[in-house]
Amino acid sequence: MNDKYDSLLLKNQLCFPLYAVSKEIISMYKPYLDPLGLTYTQYITMMVLWEHDNIMVKTLGERLFLDSGTLTPVLKKLEAHNYITRKRGTENERNVYINLTQVGLALKDKALEVPKQIAQCLDISPDDAKKLYKILYKILD
């Protein structure tokens, strides 16, 4: 009923459903983010900036669990869209500060619809959502 290879069955993995659900939910964002001209990664980047403007790339990376190798190209695209600006710090030339433009700030109001739409698509009970959230942050910390 149980052999030595059971631990290698896909259905006995915890990481795989995490990976699959993560991708599936991110793909649900696409139709709602496309009108805003944002990808999912760009969206969560904007979310951090909407909460706290004028932050360093390093801080952004810590909040999003992303390194400069990922963030630099993302930020350059957001800058090309005129949603943000990138400026070297005067006190310390190593630091790059990200700031929202008027356009980027204005996008916040349009983005309000996104979480609403996703909540409707996502078929999960409030109880499960709460449990899931808690367990995930327990792992992250």
Partner DNA sequence: CTCACTATAATTGCATACAATCTAATTGTG
Partner DNA sequence: CACAATTAGATTGTATGCAATTATAGTGAG
- Binding residues vs a copy of itself (CB under 8 A): 4-5, 7-10, 12-26, 29, 40, 44, 47-48, 50-51, 63-65, 108, 111-112, 114-116, 118, 122-124, 128-129, 131-133, 135-140
- State which amino acid sits at residue 56: M
Stretch that binds DNA, among 18-26, 102-110, 121-129, 131-139 (CB under 7 A): 18-26
Among 12, 16, 30, 132, interactor with DNA by CB under 7 A = 30
Whichever of 64 and 86 has its CB closer to a copy of itself, that residue is: 64
Query: What tokens were used for 109?
Result: 């109001």
Longest dimension (CA), the chain: 67
Tokens 């979480």 appear where?
115
Q: How far apart are CA 14 and CA 86, in angstroms?
A: 39
H-state helical runs in 12-125 = 15-33, 40-51, 57-64, 68-80, 102-111, 113-121
* 93 binds DNA, rule: CB under 7 A: yes
5-13, 20-28, 108-116, 126-134 -> range binding DNA (CB under 7 A): 20-28
- Choose which of 46, 71, 84, 100 interacts with DNA (CB under 7 A): 71
The answer to whether 101 touches 84, Cβ cutoff 8 Å, is: yes
Q: Which of 8, 11, 15, 65 binds DNA (CB under 7 A)?
A: 65
The conformation of residue 34, written as its DSSP 8-state character, comes to: G
Q: At what angle do helices 15-33 and 40-51 cross, to 10 degrees?
A: 80
User: Which residues are at the interface with DNA (CB under 7 A)?
Assistant: 19, 23-24, 26-27, 30, 39-42, 56-58, 61, 65-75, 77, 86, 91-96
